[in-house]
Amino acid sequence: MDRIKFTVNEYQSYPIETDLFERKTAKKAPFYRKMERQNHEISQFAICPACNNPVQIIGLYRKSAHTDKPFAKHYETPIGLGIYNKQAYNYCPYKADRKAFTKDSRKGAIDDITKEIIDKMVNHFDKIIYLLQKKIGIYISLSLAKEMLNDFFDARAYLYYGASLQNIPLLLAYFSLNKALIGRYISNKELISALEKAPNLYFENNQLRAKCFSNVGFYFTNHKTYIKDHHLTESLLLTVSQKEIIYSEKIIFDNLHFENLLTYHPSTLSEKQETKNKELLIAAKEVALKHGFKY
């Protein structure tokens, strides 16, 4: 992995750089440790941003044989840093030999990672909706957002083995059921072009209309993860269908976008956007409460 954290509670992760690492850790334990199994050499440690398990930094001071850039890998022993959780480690998207799972796979119980996923979903629901609608180019109204969040809780998606602290917007989309598209505002130019070719559909001020009854809707499938040069990205397949598939697009999620949004506090928002954000946060708490989670 190319990103790390220094505490389990922080939303921001950091690139692995010598100066930054020394400044954040003050070169103290438990980030610096003498390891018996490594000839008593000093090793460096941090926390995985996806699963909160401890990780060891490789190549911070001495270049690795196969890469010029330092990176981190999970450390399979509790060291007093992070929260050692074997199950979270086994299914972490950064793990090279990650355990196989399906969309129906679920953890047996709620753990600390699960609680934090739910907490982020509810308390940052406005930012999640903002990011998701920007990604797909479909405006997500308050009522649609509530539908999607209900689907998330109904599916117990917070227990999905593919869920992590970094991919929460993706989870909301992935576990959403097929949603009607008629009447929605669309900014995705490729999607607009595909919909305009359907004989019974047309646009009026970027709002999709139908000349007669249409069950055109959109949904998400095919959750995939990719690691290139130690950097993680994930994807879903967005599909729009009527009787047949009209449009499909791979939606790429770089989880840094979500992380940056969590730590971003805009100085000015339009009155309309402020109102919607407040309504989304209220709605998220109401939906969570309906499913047994009080905020």
- Report pLDDT for 38: 64
150 Rama sector, left if φ>0, alpha if ψ -120 to 50, beta otherwise: alpha
- How high does pLDDT run on average in the chain? 94
Helix (H) or strand (E) holding 58: strand 54-58
- Report pLDDT for 267: 75
Q: Are 225 and 219 in contact (CB under 8 A)?
A: no
Per-residue burial over 47-80, b = 16 or more CB atoms within 10 Å of its CB, e = otherwise: bbbbbbbbbbbbbbeeeeeeeeebbbebbeeebe
Query: For the segment 28-77, what is each residue's pLDDT rounded down to a tens digit?
Result: 999 999 887 666 789 999 999 999 999 999 999 988 777 789 999 999 89
Look-up: residue for tokens 């805009």?
A: 266
Distance from chain centroid for Cα 231 = 14
Structure tokens at 145: 């957002």
Whole-number Å distance between alpha carbons of 130 and 248: 21
pLDDT at 162 over 80: yes
Query: For the segment 84-102, what is each residue's pLDDT rounded down to a tens digit?
Result: 999 999 999 999 889 999 9
